Amino acid sequence: MSTGTSVRPAGSRRALRSGGIRWAPYVFLTPFVLLFLVFLVAPIVTALYTSFFAVERSGLGFGNANESVFVGFDNYVRALSDSGFVSSFGRVLLFGVVQVPVMLALSIALALVFDSAVVRWKRFFQLSVFIPYAVPAVVATLLWGFLYQPRVSPIVELLESLGVSANFLAPGTVLWSIANVTIWSVTGVNMIIIFAALQTVPRDMYEAARLDGAGELRMALQIKLPMVLPAIFLTTLFSIIGTLQLFNEPMTLRSITSNVTGDYTPNMSVFTATTLGGNINLGSAMAIILGLVTFGLSILVSVVSNRRRGATR
Amino acid sequence: MTGPSRRARLLGWLFMIAVGLYFLAPVYWLIVASTKSTSDLFSTPGFWFADFNLWQNLVDLSQRDGGIFWRWMLNSVIYSGLGSVLMTFISVISGYALAMYEFRGRRIVLAAVIGSMLVPQTVLAQPTYTLLVEIGLSNTMLGVLLPSLVYPFGVMLGFVYARSSVPPELLEAARMDGASEWRAFFSIALKLLSPGSVTILLFAFIGSWNNFMLPLLVLSDPRLQPVTVGLSGWSQAAITIPGLQTLVIVGALVSIVPIVVVFVSLQRYWRSGLAAGGLKL
Same domain membership, residue B225 and residue B174: yes
For A272, left (φ over 0), alpha (ψ -120 to 50), or beta? alpha
Nearest residue, CB atoms, A29 vs list B20, B94, B181: B94
Name the pLDDT band for B1 (thresholds 50, 70, 90): very low
Cβ of residue A20 closer than 8 Å to a chain B Cβ: yes
Please tell me which residue of chain B has the smallest CA distance to A208: B1
- Per-residue DSSP letter, B78: I
Task: Say how many Å lie between the first and final Cα of chain B, rounded.
Answer: 36
Please tell me which residue of chain A has the smallest CA distance to B147: A39
Same domain membership, residue B214 and residue B100: yes
Q: Is the dihedral of CA A70, A76, A79, A83 positive or negative?
A: negative
Cβ of residue B19 closer than 8 Å to a chain A Cβ: yes
Same domain membership, residue B265 and residue B129: yes
**CATH code where residue B148 lies:** 1.10.3720.10
Q: Say what percent of chain B tops pLDDT 90.
A: 48
Q: Is B161 a residue whose pLDDT tops 60?
A: yes
Cβ of residue A154 closer than 8 Å to a chain B Cβ: yes
- Per-residue DSSP letter, A12: G
Cβ of residue A266 closer than 8 Å to a chain B Cβ: no
**Residue A295: its pLDDT value, please?**
85
Cβ of residue B130 closer than 8 Å to a chain A Cβ: yes
With both helix axes pointing from N to C terminus, report the angle between A83-115 and A266-274 in degrees, rounded to the nearest 10.
Answer: 130
Could you say which residues from 158 to 187 on chain A have a Cβ atom under 8 Å away from some Cβ of chain B?
184, 187
Same domain membership, residue B155 and residue B124: yes
Q: Do the Cβ atoms of B12 and A241 come within 8 Å? A: no
Contact assessment for residue A244 and residue A92, using Cβ atoms and an 8 Å cutoff:
yes
Please tell me which residue of chain A has the smallest CA distance to B38: A152
Q: How far is A32 from chain B (nearest CA, A)?
A: 6
Q: Do the Cβ atoms of B130 and A280 come within 8 Å? A: yes
The DSSP element (H or E) to which A206 belongs, if any, is: helix A204-211
> Which range has the worst mean pLDDT, A10-19, B9-18, B119-128, B171-180?
A10-19
Nearest residue, CB atoms, B23 vs list A27, A131, A284: A131
Same domain membership, residue B182 and residue B218: yes
Domain range for B130:
67-280
Cβ of residue B49 closer than 8 Å to a chain A Cβ: no
**Per-residue pLDDT of chain A in tens (313 residues, 90 and over written 9):** 444 444 444 444 444 455 677 888 999 999 999 999 999 999 999 999 999 999 886 655 555 567 788 999 999 999 999 999 999 999 999 999 999 999 999 999 999 888 887 778 888 898 899 899 989 999 999 999 999 988 888 888 888 888 888 888 888 899 999 999 999 999 998 998 888 888 887 877 777 777 777 777 777 888 888 888 888 887 888 888 889 999 999 999 998 888 999 999 999 999 999 998 889 999 999 999 999 998 888 888 878 877 766 554 4
**Residue A1: its pLDDT value, please?**
41
**Rounded Cα gap, residues A118 and A121, in angstroms:** 10
Same domain membership, residue B100 and residue B31: no
Q: How many domains in chain B? A: 2
> How does strand A53-57 pair with strand A66-70?
antiparallel
Please tell me which residue of chain A has the smallest CA distance to B269: A192
Q: Do the Cβ atoms of B232 and A251 come within 8 Å? A: yes
The DSSP element (H or E) to which A56 belongs, if any, is: strand A53-57
Please tell me which residue of chain A has the smallest CA distance to B112: A36
Name the pLDDT band for B6 (thresholds 50, 70, 90): confident
Please, what are the domains in chain A?
1-46 (no CATH), 82-312 (1.10.3720.10)
Cβ of residue A153 closer than 8 Å to a chain B Cβ: yes
Q: Is residue B60 part of a domain?
A: no
The per-residue pLDDT for range A43-55, each reduced to its tens digit, is: 999 999 999 999 8
Nearest residue, CB atoms, B16 vs list A119, A144, A154: A119
**Residue A313: its pLDDT value, please?**
41
Distances (CA, A) of B69 to B33, B56, B254: 19, 15, 10
Please tell me which residue of chain A has the smallest CA distance to B236: A255
Same domain membership, residue B122 and residue B27: no
Same domain membership, residue B143 and residue B229: yes
- Per-residue DSSP letter, A39: I
Mutate to test the interface with B, among A7, A29, A33 (most CBs of B within 10 A): A29
**Rounded Cα gap, residues A296 and B13, in angstroms:** 42
**Residue A19: its pLDDT value, please?**
60
Cβ of residue A37 closer than 8 Å to a chain B Cβ: no
With both helix axes pointing from N to C terminus, report the angle between A122-134 and B244-265 in degrees, rounded to the nearest 10.
Answer: 130
Q: Which alpha helices (DSSP H) does chain B contain, by range?
A: 6-34, 38-43, 54-63, 68-76, 83-100, 106-116, 121-134, 141-145, 152-165, 168-176, 181-183, 190-192, 194-209, 213-218, 227-237, 244-265, 267-280
Same domain membership, residue B122 and residue B8: no
Nearest residue, CB atoms, A5 vs list B91, B181, B229: B181
